Chain A
Amino acid sequence: MLRYALTRIALAMGTVLLTVLMLVIAIRLIPGDPAAAIMGPRATPELRAAIEARMGLDQPVLVQYIKFLGNTLRGDLGRDVRSEQPIAQMVIEKLPFTLTLIAASLAWSVLLGVVLGFVAALRRASWTDRVIGTLSIAAISAPPFVIALLLMLLFAVHLGVMPAIGAGEPGDPADQLRHLILPAIALGTGWVGYIARLLRASLLEVMTQNHFRTALAYAIPPQRLYVVYALRIAIVPVVTVLGVGIGAMVSGGVLVEIVFSRPGIGSLIYDSVVTRNYPVLIATVMMTTSLYALAMLLADLVTAILDPRVRTAS
């Protein structure tokens, strides 16, 4: 187990380091110089040189990379050239919005997905099962940002019952909750379908196993039979897939945040891409990739703890 865990941790760290290296190299490859892109045509050569020095662009790539990693380990992500704010502070300010959105989306999609998957498995091959199955596929395949746009059109613009943009007044939890509903529905819908299908398949498999048949033969009351003897085992793959879910939501959340003009890591990345603010871009991408890699790593480790075959196979 220890060896497996160490391999996975090394892989996750390798991914993050590789990403940052690729990013630093990539920024060198961009045609035109970023200082001019930030300052526009008004930039004097002195100002440009100053900005390049501030961004570390006057140093060799490798030096720049190692310096960045060293600073990151000390919690210093550099300063934003435009606003003079420390980038670490910018990221920490935006992170809670993204994490709240992911948590809310995951929470409702797991609840509904488990219920639907449970019902579909119990009523296998009935029309209920077929309707849930078809709706699940439709939900999985719909892009979150399109759902977001349609939800906004219907509930915020047409009916006017929901706020369209922002994350709500700071210090007003009720308002913040109202602003969270539409983005969380948009981001979670696909996962409802995914979890429902996964749980259905997993439950059907458990129900063919010997321990379940024995329990059935002992005439254990249905609630206890299905919840304790089937659901408790069948839910394991759902738990392990949540790590992947968090990772996917970090990615899918970017566009949803943009649609609802919600502050968050996604909007921060988008803004830094559009304004060519490279230090902020490097820092936010590193944060996001780390979050993604961490979620995947936890998923792998939980799977390995629950299922010994995984760790011996590799």
Chain B
Amino acid sequence: MTKDDPSHLQSARHPLLVVSRRLPTSARLGAALVALALLAGLAGLVGFVPNDPYKFDFANRFAAPAWDHWLGTDNLGRDIFSRVVVGSGIAMTVSIAGVGIAMILGLMVGTAAGFGPRWLDSTTIFLLDSLRTFPTILLAMLVVVIAGPSVFTILVIVVVSLVPGYARVARTQTLALRNETFILAERSLGASPLRIICHHVIPNVFAPLLVIGCMDIPTVVAIEAGLSFIGLGVRPPEPSWGTLLQDGYVHVRATPWLLVAGSIPLALVTLGFTFLGEGLRDALDPKRRRS
């Protein structure tokens, strides 16, 4: 690298690096927990676990944590640790897919409302507000009654309950941008709305959406666990954190380990994504940075 070579300067200014340097310790800890959760989720999906999570072992029910069962065994003698790992596969899939799909839909609805005619905007806002007013857990119960409990049903519930939030952010940003001079100039040169959305609106809403998405993941994990806990989500014998908690709740007087094992990953994932989201928000928002 010569003295005049500006590449080192450019690399130092890479937005990701700049953002990561501004993150406080709590957000870095959050990022580490998020990475751990994603790894556990991946391990759960490919079945990389120390024991068979479905194998009954009645001679060994309610065993306390030991070397061959790191978190003990449940009411059917199944290895709790392996079930926690497989459960994290479900939790991560539902939360990341749910937030991702909701974000794309919200972006489409929000930009359409912001760019479209006034009647479209007010109709969309009315529908979004009605959806927002509807308590998530009730919505979830109703959808489950109609469609039956499954991972796909949970995904639908998550998407429906998250879309209004993303759509509102996208709409506000679109409304703010559509009358900016540079957008008007580009439109007068014949740029299509699609081009303006792709080149200006999406890059501008990406950061706030990323932050909201990050902080929504704990909500989604809690919805999945909550529904599975009351038997309206993932069905046994499939191990979800919610079904683990349900087993722990039913057998609370026999062993505390099921409840503890079910709530620790939930707590860690929740804390991880929330701290990372908080840190990202402060790092990406110039106003907060100054204060």
Asked whether A258 and B266 contact (CB < 8 A) given A141-B218, A250-B135, A270-B141, the answer is no
B274 with A137: CB separation less than 8 A: yes
- List residues of chain A with CB within 8 A of the CB of B135: 247, 250-251, 288-289, 292
The complex places the Cα of A296 from the Cα of B232 at a distance, in Å, of 28
- List residues of chain B with CB within 8 A of the CB of A292: 133-135
Nearest-neighbour CB distance to chain B for A262, whole angstroms, equals: 14
Interface mask (A17-34 → B, CB under 8 Å = 1, otherwise 0): 011001100100110000
- List residues of chain B with CB within 8 A of the CB of A12: 133
- List residues of chain B with CB within 8 A of the CB of A29: 146
The complex places the Cα of A14 from the Cα of B226 at a distance, in Å, of 29
Asked whether A149 and B259 contact (CB < 8 A) given A141-B218, A255-B229, A293-B133, the answer is yes
B225 with A143: CB separation less than 8 A: yes
Give the A interface residue count (CB, 8 A).
46
Interface mask (B16-52 → A, CB under 8 Å = 1, otherwise 0): 0000000000100000000000000000000000000
A259 with B141: CB separation less than 8 A: no
The complex places the Cα of A250 from the Cα of B135 at a distance, in Å, of 8
A255 with B226: CB separation less than 8 A: yes
The complex places the Cα of A199 from the Cα of B12 at a distance, in Å, of 38
The complex places the Cα of A29 from the Cα of B143 at a distance, in Å, of 11
Q: Is A178 an interface residue (CB 8 A)?
A: no
- List residues of chain B with CB within 8 A of the CB of A255: 137, 226, 229-230
Partner of A18, one of B130, B144, B226, B278: B130
Give the B interface residue count (CB, 8 A).
40
A141 with B271: CB separation less than 8 A: yes
Q: Is B138 an interface residue (CB 8 A)?
A: yes
The complex places the Cα of A11 from the Cα of B125 at a distance, in Å, of 11
Most buried by A among B133, B142, B230: B133
Q: Is A77 an interface residue (CB 8 A)?
A: no
Q: Is A153 an interface residue (CB 8 A)?
A: yes
Q: Is A138 an interface residue (CB 8 A)?
A: yes
- List residues of chain B with CB within 8 A of the CB of A141: 218, 270-271, 273-274
Interface mask (B223-253 → A, CB under 8 Å = 1, otherwise 0): 0011001111000000000000100110011
Most buried by B among A143, A292, A293: A143
Nearest-neighbour CB distance to chain B for A152, whole angstroms, equals: 7
Interface residues of B in 117-146 (CB under 8 A from A): 126, 129-130, 133-138, 141-142, 144-146
A15 with B229: CB separation less than 8 A: no
B259 with A153: CB separation less than 8 A: yes
- List residues of chain B with CB within 8 A of the CB of A158: 256
The complex places the Cα of A255 from the Cα of B229 at a distance, in Å, of 9
A15 with B222: CB separation less than 8 A: no
B138 with A258: CB separation less than 8 A: no
Q: Is A79 an interface residue (CB 8 A)?
A: no
Instruction: Name which residue of chain B comes closest to A152, CB basis.
Output: B252
Q: Is B104 an interface residue (CB 8 A)?
A: no
- List residues of chain A with CB within 8 A of the CB of B81: none
B252 with A137: CB separation less than 8 A: no
B218 with A153: CB separation less than 8 A: no
A14 with B230: CB separation less than 8 A: no
- List residues of chain B with CB within 8 A of the CB of A152: 252
- List residues of chain B with CB within 8 A of the CB of A146: 222, 225, 245, 263, 266-267
Q: Is A66 an interface residue (CB 8 A)?
A: no
Q: Is A186 an interface residue (CB 8 A)?
A: no
Most buried by A among B226, B248, B278: B226
Q: Is B275 an interface residue (CB 8 A)?
A: yes
A153 with B252: CB separation less than 8 A: yes
Asked whether A149 and B142 contact (CB < 8 A) given A15-B134, A134-B26, the answer is no
Q: Is A53 an interface residue (CB 8 A)?
A: no
B225 with A259: CB separation less than 8 A: no
Q: Is A302 an interface residue (CB 8 A)?
A: no
- List residues of chain A with CB within 8 A of the CB of B230: 255, 258, 270
Nearest-neighbour CB distance to chain A for B225, whole angstroms, equals: 7
- List residues of chain A with CB within 8 A of the CB of B253: 157
The complex places the Cα of A276 from the Cα of B148 at a distance, in Å, of 12
Asked whether A138 and B145 contact (CB < 8 A) given A146-B266, A269-B138, the answer is no
Partner of B249, one of A15, A18, A149: A149
- List residues of chain B with CB within 8 A of the CB of A157: 252-253, 256
Asked whether A138 and B271 contact (CB < 8 A) given A23-B142, A29-B146, the answer is yes
Partner of B138, one of A14, A18, A251, A293: A251
Instruction: Name which residue of chain B comes closest to A153, CB basis.
Output: B259
Nearest-neighbour CB distance to chain A for B91, whole angstroms, equals: 12
The complex places the Cα of A152 from the Cα of B274 at a distance, in Å, of 25
B278 with A137: CB separation less than 8 A: yes
A11 with B270: CB separation less than 8 A: no
- List residues of chain A with CB within 8 A of the CB of B260: 153
Q: Is A252 an interface residue (CB 8 A)?
A: yes
Q: Is A285 an interface residue (CB 8 A)?
A: yes
The complex places the Cα of A12 from the Cα of B130 at a distance, in Å, of 8
User: 9 interchain pairs (CB within 8 A)?
Assistant: A11-B126, A18-B130, A137-B26, A141-B270, A143-B226, A145-B222, A146-B266, A250-B135, A255-B226
- If A252-B137, A254-B138 are given as contacts, then 13 extra A-B residue pairs at C-beta distance below 8 Å, sorted by A number, are A11-B126, A12-B133, A137-B26, A138-B271, A138-B274, A149-B249, A152-B252, A158-B256, A255-B230, A258-B230, A273-B141, A292-B133, A296-B133
A-B residue pairs, 4 tightest by C-beta: A251-B135, A143-B222, A141-B274, A141-B270
